[in-house]
């Protein structure tokens, strides 16, 4: 049986963190020793975005961790522990952390990402007005820009469609202007629409 089939059977078509039935996809828990049904889970898009730090934490949505933490599946336990640590400014999350038990191997696995040492803040790509930018968005330049290494001058008001966020730098996006792919600082754009 394929991994996806095993996970669908186990999850019964629901997110294994919040039990949502709105389209789940496979999530591979980082730093697992093996890729199998114990290290993968089915997640809804909202849980996935928050776990991957692409969306601000929603403590109301993630209060379901007090249930998922009791799962016998190692990957679900590890993800629950990591997320509870990111939410440790919430009293209910601290209470849950006091109750959750992970054996030594699972605790070592859970600690490999360092989530237990960080707060729950999420660094997102934001435009000059604080609007969150995502892949595929359309932006407008709020300043004329000279493109380094090129004679191209991107004028104020230029529309840049289908941007891509730079994964490891929240101050930068990529977009095409006059057919040339360039890096643009997020403080020089505003989201359109």
Query: CA 111, CA 176: separation in Å to the nearest integer?
Result: 40
* pTM recorded for the entire structure: 0.69
Q: Where are the domains of the chain?
A: 3-117, 139-191
Residue among 175, 168, 172 at smallest CA distance from 187: 172
Q: Give the CA-trace dihedral at 12, 15, 17, 20, to 10 degrees.
A: -110
pLDDT, residue 121, reads: 66
CATH fold label, 139-191: SH3 type barrels. (2.30.30)
Buried b (16+ CB within 10 A) or exposed e, 59-87: eebbebbbebbebebbbbbbbbbbbbbbb
For each of the chain's 193 residues, which pLDDT tens digit applies? 898 899 999 999 899 999 999 888 999 999 988 889 999 999 999 999 899 888 888 999 999 999 999 999 999 999 999 999 999 889 999 999 999 999 999 999 999 987 777 666 677 888 999 888 888 999 999 999 888 877 788 889 999 999 998 888 889 999 999 888 999 999 999 999 7
pLDDT, residue 119, reads: 63
Query: CA 68, CA 173: separation in Å to the nearest integer?
Result: 36
Residue whose token pair is 């730079």: 166
pLDDT, residue 48, reads: 93
DSSP sequence for 10-27? HHTTS-TTT---S--EEE
pLDDT, residue 189, reads: 94
């Amino acid at each position: 049986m394929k991994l996806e089939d095993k996970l669908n059977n186990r999850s019964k078509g629901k997110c294994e963190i919040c039990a949502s039935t709105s389209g789940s996809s496979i999530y591979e828990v980082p730093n697992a020793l093996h890729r199998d049904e114990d290290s993968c889970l089915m997640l809804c898009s909202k849980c996935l975005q928050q776990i991957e730090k692409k969306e601000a934490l929603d403590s109301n949505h993630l209060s379901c961790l007090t249930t998922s933490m009791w799962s016998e599946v190692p990957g679900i336990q590890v993800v629950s522990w990591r997320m509870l640590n990111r939410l440790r400014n919430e009293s209910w999350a601290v209470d849950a952390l006091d109750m959750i038990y992970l054996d030594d191997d699972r605790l070592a696995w859970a600690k490999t990402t360092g989530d237990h040492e960080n707060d729950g803040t999420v660094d997102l790509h934001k435009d000059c007005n604080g609007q969150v930018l995502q892949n595929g968005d359309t932006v407008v330049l709020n300043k004329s820009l000279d493109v380094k290494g090129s004679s191209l001058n991107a004028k104020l008001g230029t529309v840049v469609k289908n941007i891509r966020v730079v994964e490891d730098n929240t101050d930068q996006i990529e977009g095409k202007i006059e057919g040339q792919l360039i890096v643009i600082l997020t403080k020089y754009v505003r989201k359109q629409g």
